[in-house]
Amino acid sequence: MTQATYSTLSKRQRRFVDACAASGCSSLISRQELVSVCEDSGVYTSPPTWVTQDPARKHSRGIYSIPEIDEADSSLSSPVAPPVGSPPQAVPTAPSLPEIDLAAATVLGMTGGDRASLVPDRVQTYVPWGHFKSIEKILRAKIFYPVFVTGLSGNGKTMMVEQVCAKLKRECYRVNLTKQTDEDDLLGGFRLIDGNTVWCDGPVTSAMKNGGILLLDEIDLASHNIMCLQPVLEGKGVFLKKIGQWVRPAEGFTVFATANTKGKGSDDGRFIGTNVLNEAFLDRFPVTLEQEYAARAVEKKILVKAMGSLELDDEDFADHLVRWAEIIRKSFAEGAVDEIISTRRLVDITKAYSIFDDKMTAITMAISRFDDDTKEGFLSLYTKVDADALGAETDEEASIEAEASADLASAARIDLQVPYDQKDNAKSRGAKWDNEGRRWYITGSTYSSDTEYWDTYSPTAVTTVEAPF
């Protein structure tokens, strides 16, 4: 093949090469990167054959050579914000203070470490759902439009924002708020570096200067100190009074806030530490997105993908888990139970299953943080959803059970735990009431007549010596 150049490519091919360059791809590009560029740009629906089926372009397994990207990359410019990976802009300091060291600014002036890490990694197992498309539309528009995202724990609020940023190659400045978070943490402050006092931008200031996405995570845990963000949420910029500098937001800057509540506190006490946020602060978010748990089909797809990354192939288990979680959530909504199974916990169960290779062990370990009654209730419910969960009974287990039944059959008295609403039925079958001991009991011979029925009342042998009552 004659060596192609950027100018010899067709118009559509050049558009694709431009999209590769804009996505930060090098001239050696992986198949997964080709897929991502196709999804993001829409130029092709799948990796183009002029790349994947040209032997001259195949560099190694899954890696292709598109030298035209280097030509396209050199012609691109970004007048609004510096490209990902470039060093941060120099920050003016007060005249009497020394300039901040560049390496220190990289660490202290931004969240997430070095500049390249500010674009979140793309999670290959992520399933876009819920408000993903709406958030993508907002970010593609590159307008200032603060969004409040609320919903119960573990349903993917934060990951959704991060994965939209990853898809669009947008920097995401994630700040996890607490009661102690103050203006200095958010906007910036003076730091002691190498014996010198220097000013370092906070994540809010850095996001504004670089046209990034500011993600205020768990905003309802913050105190009134976040009122310093009022002008930021208006899109007008912020005045850094400590250094006398006015910072205006660059194009593309916007704010997302996530919370388990709507900023009105937690009435049921499930989200301890959440605060009632100032109404004027909340009013600066034009829209609120309510994130529910995913529908059964979507949640199953999430679990199947998670299992695939763990080299598991058990769609039935995934189906049983989402049905189980769905029943529990409905019960929670009706007030029948006080706990809930989140999507995050279902993924945790699949990880435990990949380690311990036992479904009930994985589920038990994942829900052991609940109180004993709730845990046992959830486990019992799962065995009804998945009849095969307990597995086949081993010879040893069968032998132990047979011995226990034999002991009960020879007992003179067997105490029972009979619920009040079932006492008449138990009495009709031969159970007797011990008024002094305040419990129901039967003889061993009565037990032998219907062991399966009496086993439901947790029979306990009092003595193994036959004796009259």
Give CA–CA dist 461/427, Å, rounded: 18
Cα 2 to Cα 42: distance, rounded to the nearest angstrom: 28
What is the tally of helices (H) and strands (E) in the chain? Answer: 20, 16
Residues 6 or more apart from 86 whose CB is under 8 A from it?
Answer: 115
Would the pTM count as exceeding 0.85? no
CATH 3.40.50.300 fits 102-290, yes or no: yes
Quote the longest CA-to-CA distance of the chain: 105
Q: Residue 345 and residue 348: Cα distance in Å, rounded?
A: 5
Owner of token pair 């439901």: 456
* Residue ranges of E strands in 145-235: 147-150, 172-176, 188-193, 196-201, 213-217
What is the pLDDT at residue 324? 96
| pLDDT score, position 95 | 43
Query: What is the number of other CB atoms lying within 10 angstroms of the CB of residue 423?
Result: 13
Please list the rounded mean pLDDT of every run of 10 residues in the chain (469 residues): 73 90 85 84 87 86 85 58 48 43 38 60 93 96 96 93 96 94 94 90 95 95 92 93 94 96 75 82 95 94 94 94 95 89 96 94 95 93 87 55 71 88 89 89 88 87 53
- Ordered by start, the domain boundaries in the chain are 6-75, 102-290, 296-385, 397-463
